[in-house]
Structure 1
Amino acid sequence: MTSARPKRSRTDPRRRGAELEDALLRAAWDEVVEVGYADLTMESVAERAQTSRAVLYRRWPDRRELVLAAFRHRAPGSGIETPDTGSFRGDVLALLRSVARRYDQLQGMYSVIMAEYAKDSDLSTYLRDRANQSVGSAMTVILDRAAARGELAPGSLSPRVKRLPVDLLRHELLFGKAAMPIPDEFIVEITDEIFLPLVELQAGAEVAGDAEADGGTARNVVR
Structure 2
Amino acid sequence: MTAAGETTAGRPRDSRIDTAVLAAARELLADVGYADLTLTAVAARAQTSVPAVRRRWPSKAHIVHHAVFPTERLTVPPDENSTLADEVAGVVDNCAAVVSDPAMRRAITGLLSDLAADKDLERELSTRMNSVVSGDLGARFVAAARRDGTTLRLDPSMVAEVAFGATLMTAVMHGAEGLDARWRAQMTAMLLAGG
TM range (shorter): 0.5 to 0.7
Report if the CA contact (8 A) 1:42-1:53 is conserved: yes
Q: Name the structure 2 match of 1:197.
A: 193
What is the identity, as a one-letter code, of the residue corresponding to 1:93? A
Are 1:91 and 2:105 matched, yes or no? no
Aligned to 1:168, what secondary structure does the other structure show? helix
Q: 1 or 2, which has the higher helix percentage?
A: 2
Are 1:67 and 2:64 matched, yes or no? yes
TM-score between both structures, scaled by the size of structure 1: 0.57
Output one character per residue of 1:56-114: Cα deviation in whole Å (capped at 9) or x when no partner.
Answer: 33444333343345447xx783531154343221221133223323444x323323124
How many equivalent pairs are there?
A: 178
Aligned to 1:61, what secondary structure does the other structure show? coil
Q: Percent identity?
A: 24
Structure 2 distance, partners of 1:162, 1:22, is 26
Structure 2 distance, partners of 1:82, 1:50, is 31
Greater RCO structure (CA 8 Å; 6+ sep) = 2
Report if the CA contact (8 A) 2:83-2:148 is conserved: no
Q: CA deviation at 1:187?
A: 1.0
Alpha carbons of structure 1 residues 108 and 161: separation in structure 2 relative to 1, 3 Å: closer
Aligned to 1:170, what secondary structure does the other structure show? helix
What is the identity, as a one-letter code, of the residue corresponding to 2:180? P
Structure 1 distance, partners of 2:53, 2:156, is 41
Are 1:81 and 2:69 matched, yes or no? no
Report if the CA contact (8 A) 2:92-2:184 is conserved: yes
Report if the CA contact (8 A) 2:34-2:110 is conserved: no
Match of 2:179 among 179, 182, 200: 182
Alpha carbons of structure 1 residues 181 and 133: separation in structure 2 relative to 1, 3 Å: farther
Alignment RMSD: 3.8
Structure 1 distance, partners of 2:170, 2:46, is 35
Report if the CA contact (8 A) 1:82-1:138 is conserved: no
Match of 1:54 among 38, 51, 58: 51
Q: Which runs of 5+ in 1 are unaligned?
A: 1-16, 200-223
